[in-house]
Amino acid sequence: MTKNVWIFPGQGSQAVGMGLDLAEVGRDKFAKAEQILGWSILEKSQTDATELAKTQFTQPCLYVTSAILSDVLKEKGEKPSAVAGHSLGEYSALYCAGVVDFATGLELVKQRSLLMAEASGGAMTALISFDRDQLEAAIAQTENVVLANDNSKDQVVISGTEAAVKSICDQVKSKRAIPLAVSGAFHSPLMAVASAKFAESLQRTVFNDADTPVISNVEPNDATTSGQVLRDRLIKQMTSPVRWREISLYLAEQGYEQAIEVGSGKVLTGLVKRSAPNLALVNISTLEQAIAF
């Protein structure tokens, strides 16, 4: 069997209309989601892009869509050799690996998305094509800013106070600097208050041992099936960088042959291609693609 990893997208991969073709096959999960959230995933996914991009809506919509698509693949007899997710996508990965059930995962995603949506006083900017040594040196010398998403060698996101993020953008020359439409400094120490509140919920949640190894955002070089370890790593996730570039390199080093992105968009396969160009890439973002796989 091909050694493959299923990868699950995070915030930024959402698209208007996503999941609509799953209405019938995912009927039970959409109904359960509406009960938990108090609003309809299918209705929200048909709103405009600005509304869908709000954190409190984006994260549950992505989680539910990925969960249903992974169910379709499993019902066909497909099984990953490992799973990983980008930020929010790690919750989809944990569901796929049997660490949490659908409802438990969505309850966590709901609380996480609300806490992150309520965050304020921070900023995030994506940098494309830059001198990494210069960037790392500038961050080391500047307070209140971190490398939040290390996506590939030439694409990162910095996070911190507005002043600190602007300072880095002024110091480091890049091809493009794109401010992100977020309320807070996600994946930085500035999320400590929200993270502490969320940690209480995580500690009360039962995490089963995984039936498939999970590669974590905060420990990208150590896939594990331990539910306790995965919970401990998830507690750190909100204030820690997403080390996706290292995850991609780990996949190549460990002999994975194929990366299958399960969920909306093609962001993650694009990032994997930059760091691990020898991996075969597949995108499963629709019911038709899942059935044909």
- CA angle 25/31/33 to nearest 5° reads 105
The pLDDT, as a whole number, for residue 119 is 85
- Supply φ then ψ for residue 96, to 5 degrees: -60, -35
Q: Can you tell me whether residue 19 is helix, strand or coil?
A: coil
Is 87 among the residues known to form the active site? yes
Residue 98: closest CA among 191, 232, 210, 189: 210
Residue 55: both structure tokens together: 């954190």
| Residue 261 β-bridge partners | 7, 283
* 69 and 93 Cβ atoms separated by less than 8 Å: no
Which of 13, 70, 81, 87 does the annotation list as catalytic? Answer: 87
pTM of the model: 0.96
- What is the C-alpha separation between 293 and 287, in angstroms, rounded? 10
The pLDDT, as a whole number, for residue 183 is 78
- What is the C-alpha separation between 62 and 106, in angstroms, rounded? 10
The pLDDT, as a whole number, for residue 247 is 98
The domains located in the chain, with CATH, are: 4-119+188-292 (3.40.366.10), 123-179 (3.30.70.250)
Q: What is the pLDDT of residues 75-110, one digit of tens each?
A: 999 999 999 999 999 999 999 999 999 999 999 999
Which of 13, 86, 92, 187 does the annotation list as catalytic? Answer: 187
Q: Is the dihedral of CA 221, 101, 268, 232 positive or negative?
A: negative
All residue ranges of the chain with pLDDT < 50 are none
The pLDDT, as a whole number, for residue 130 is 95
133 CB neighbour count, 10 Å cutoff: 8
The pLDDT, as a whole number, for residue 120 is 80
Residue 12: both structure tokens together: 């930024």
